A and B are shown apart, each in its own frame.
Chain A
Amino acid sequence: MTETLTDRQEKILAFIKRSIQEQGYPPTIREIGEHFGIRSTNGVNDHLKALERKGYLLRGELKSRALSVIEGGKPARFVRREVEPFVGYGLSMLIGTSFLAGSLWLAGRLPLPSPTISPLVVPVALFTMLVGLFLIVSRRKALTQVLGYLVLENAIYAFGVGLVEGTPMVVELGVLLDLFVAVFVMGIAVFHINREFDHIDADRLSTLRDWAG
């Protein structure tokens, strides 16, 4: 994923590495500017941004001396194998159980169209659907959110198979194709998120908002 560097960028990267090795901490933007005779901090910033974009450098937010060099892929603090959910596992189980009760109650209020259909179809579909939605909102990783979306789709499809007879072939094919493409497009998006940010934590996609807080 790393790209080649210009001469200048190469030298700046080397300077940062040397400073970290010799002093134990990275240089400030001003120090880099003085060393290379770049007068404006903006100029230095451009180089740093290019280095960051190309995947050689990681810049902390708004702090001076917050540069870390990336070597052999990712900096250590970004490797988080554990999926840390927003809602803990114990609480998730509890919420899931309440979903089950809720779907049974709701299904009791919807009269079935024909007595031959199992009375469990509607509650099962509703329950699975709620679980899917819960997964989407309570998990961090973009990939887990896609998983939640698939659970949701499964629930809807289970409902369709159980209750609806005679969906036309064309529509079934359309649904299938759409689902396939949806997951495909989401997959591409996850790939881009991973490449752009070095992580797939959707909760860190939070730059866009109305008021800076």
Chain B
Amino acid sequence: MIPSLLLIPAVGGVLAYFVRRAGPRRALLVLAAVAHAGMTAATWRVEPAPAWGGWLELDALGRMFLTITSALFLAAALYGVAYLREEGHGERRDVEEGFLFDNAPEATFTACLLLFLAAMTLVTVSQGFGLLWVAVEATTLASAPLIYFHRHHRSLEATWKYLLICSVGIALALLGNFFLAVAASGHGGASVRLVLPDLIARAPGLRIVWLRAAFLLFLVGYGTKMGLAPLHTWLPDAHSEAPSVVSALLSGALLNCALLGIVRVQQVCAAAGQAAFGQGLLVGFGLLSMAVAAVFILGQADYKRMLAYSSVEHMGILTLGIGLGGGGTFGGMLHAVNHSFTKAMMFLVAGNILTRYRSKSTEEVRGVLRALPASGILWAIGLFAITGSPPFGPFLSELTILKAALDQGRAGVAIAYLILLAVIFVGMATAILGMAQGVPRDARMTARAREPLLRVVPAAALAAVVLLLGVYIPPAVRTALEDAARALG
């Protein structure tokens, strides 16, 4: 079952590259996404057998993240069909500087999209640290061409930053792998396999100094990919220049994959009795990310960049949760789920707004509720969901994290957390409500536009999931998250 989860998108991706006609290729994209989602849903009923001698195995945490990835990809694929139909081909005018540019060939785009899914699937099923590293690097390489879909100088700049910063970061994580191997090697030179269950079983015998150094390298390496400040610099550029459907996947699915890398090594640390060492660092990185995001969200002139900084903020929140430990870890994992669905939804809606208004400026976009009623409503819903207002999912997880901080008597952390959340709420609400309300500047925009079903329904479905998670967490999800929280100490 695990091999087919990997093979469906991988083979689909290779095929998509060679399919010449647009129609069948888009059908292939949706077909692969549906098949992958179906297989993923099946893993909740039937425990998939480990493959490759224990290197590939789907544990509770991996399954949670795989489900998020697969669900988001399905939404993105459906949206992508409509997106490509409208914007996929031909010369286009740049929305900011007005020059003409071409898009990358649609076949390459579709192929990379599917290979990206394959790489992310590999991240979620890897139990070996080496393989996990390979998979995370593969996600970078598969997604770089996606960011350079619009062939112009700004997206090229974003792609270059993304490639170089993430590759260097991930190279440090490779060094972390080697440090971990040294930490695990026996005194006679006998080595242990770098597979999660083996490492956890032998955790008390690990060399502590090397283990700590390894954790640091993993944190910096995967933290770069995850967008933790001050390693986040690639993130706003990549998210604002990539097509919105790609931004949704980057923010909703890819950042989680990097988080998984950090969580895995924290699992080993916790088993070795070193949980506290990592937790202190995670709290620090978490608060710093939130603070940096707050500064850049206030007065942000570009709404896609604002969403990107909001991703930095939420990565900070869930890192903080995991760093607090106990109930906070549960809150952090739950927040990962909530954030993925909410942010992906918002990026999809942002894509609709960008298509209609042809501007990324928060100042120029006015009256979305009039010009694009469905998208406008979703945009406003997204604001309240992402800033943690009830009754949406993020409210619940942010509250859990706050409760954990207060339970531990860390009043300073709790106060800083609340202040930053409030500042970000004000910043985002000003921008997003301003965009949603009012009258469009351009008189032609006052008429309602036809909104293609495929560009609204996926986002609406994601919004429904966010609302559902706010009022009811399915028991299976709760158990999976609690298991994960226990393993992290």
Residues of A within 8 A of B (CB): 42, 45-46, 49-50, 52-53, 109-111, 113-114, 116, 129, 133, 136, 142, 145, 149, 152-153, 156, 159-160, 163-168, 170-171, 174-175, 177-178, 181-182, 185-186, 189, 192-193, 196-197, 202, 205-208, 210
Question: Is B154 in the interface zone, CB < 8 Å from A?
Answer: yes
Q: Are A149 and B160 in contact (CB under 8 A)?
A: no
Q: Among B100, B148, B167, B182, which residue has its beta carbon within 8 angstroms of that of A164?
A: B182
Q: Are A171 and B130 in contact (CB under 8 A)?
A: yes
Given contacts A145-B164, A149-B171, A181-B141, contact A171 B154 (CB under 8 A): no
Cα of A166 to Cα of B158 in the assembled complex, Å: 38
Question: Is B236 in the interface zone, CB < 8 Å from A?
Answer: yes
- Please, could you name 23 A-B residue pairs with CB atoms under 8 Å apart, sorted by A? A52-B99, A53-B101, A109-B209, A113-B187, A149-B171, A159-B175, A163-B178, A164-B191, A165-B191, A167-B181, A171-B134, A174-B130, A174-B133, A175-B133, A175-B134, A182-B137, A185-B144, A189-B144, A189-B159, A193-B160, A205-B156, A205-B160, A208-B236
Residues of B within 8 A of A208 (CB): 154, 157-158, 161, 236-237, 240-241
Q: Among A52, A129, A205, which residue has its beta carbon within 8 angstroms of that of B175?
A: A129
How distant is B225 from chain A, measured CB to nearest CB, in Å? 14
Q: A174-B134, A186-B163 are in contact. List 6 more A-B contacts (CB 8 A).
A: A49-B100, A166-B191, A167-B130, A185-B144, A186-B164, A208-B236
Question: Is B138 in the interface zone, CB < 8 Å from A?
Answer: yes
Cα of A87 to Cα of B389 in the assembled complex, Å: 49
Cα of A205 to Cα of B160 in the assembled complex, Å: 9
Residues of A within 8 A of B152 (CB): 196
Q: Are A207 and B189 in contact (CB under 8 A)?
A: no
Given contacts A159-B178, A166-B191, A171-B131, contact A205 B161 (CB under 8 A): yes
Question: Is B261 in the interface zone, CB < 8 Å from A?
Answer: no
How distant is A202 from chain B, measured CB to nearest CB, in Å? 7
Given contacts A163-B178, A164-B185, A168-B130, contact A111 B207 (CB under 8 A): yes
Question: Is B362 in the interface zone, CB < 8 Å from A?
Answer: no
| 6 pairs of A and B residues whose beta carbons are closest in the complex | A171-B130, A174-B134, A205-B157, A164-B181, A49-B99, A208-B237
Cα of A174 to Cα of B191 in the assembled complex, Å: 20
Residues of A within 8 A of B185 (CB): 113-114, 164-165
Cα of A53 to Cα of B94 in the assembled complex, Å: 12
Cα of A163 to Cα of B154 in the assembled complex, Å: 42
How distant is B20 from chain A, measured CB to nearest CB, in Å? 22
Residues of B within 8 A of A197 (CB): 153
Question: Is B300 in the interface zone, CB < 8 Å from A?
Answer: yes
How distant is A203 from chain B, measured CB to nearest CB, in Å? 11
Q: Are A185 and B141 in contact (CB under 8 A)?
A: yes
Residues of A within 8 A of B145 (CB): 185
Given contacts A149-B167, A156-B171, A189-B144, contact A168 B182 (CB under 8 A): no
How distant is B257 from chain A, measured CB to nearest CB, in Å? 15
Interface residues of B in 87-117 (CB under 8 A from A): 98-101
Cα of A208 to Cα of B101 in the assembled complex, Å: 18
Q: Are B153 and A136 in contact (CB under 8 A)?
A: no
Shortest Cβ distance from A114 into B: residue = B189
How distant is A109 from chain B, measured CB to nearest CB, in Å? 8
How distant is A122 from chain B, measured CB to nearest CB, in Å? 9
Given contacts A149-B164, A171-B131, contact A46 B98 (CB under 8 A): yes
Shortest Cβ distance from B186 into A: residue = A113
Q: Are B168 and A210 in contact (CB under 8 A)?
A: no
Q: Are A182 and B210 in contact (CB under 8 A)?
A: no
Residues of B within 8 A of A166 (CB): 191
Cα of A149 to Cα of B209 in the assembled complex, Å: 27
Residues of A within 8 A of B323 (CB): none
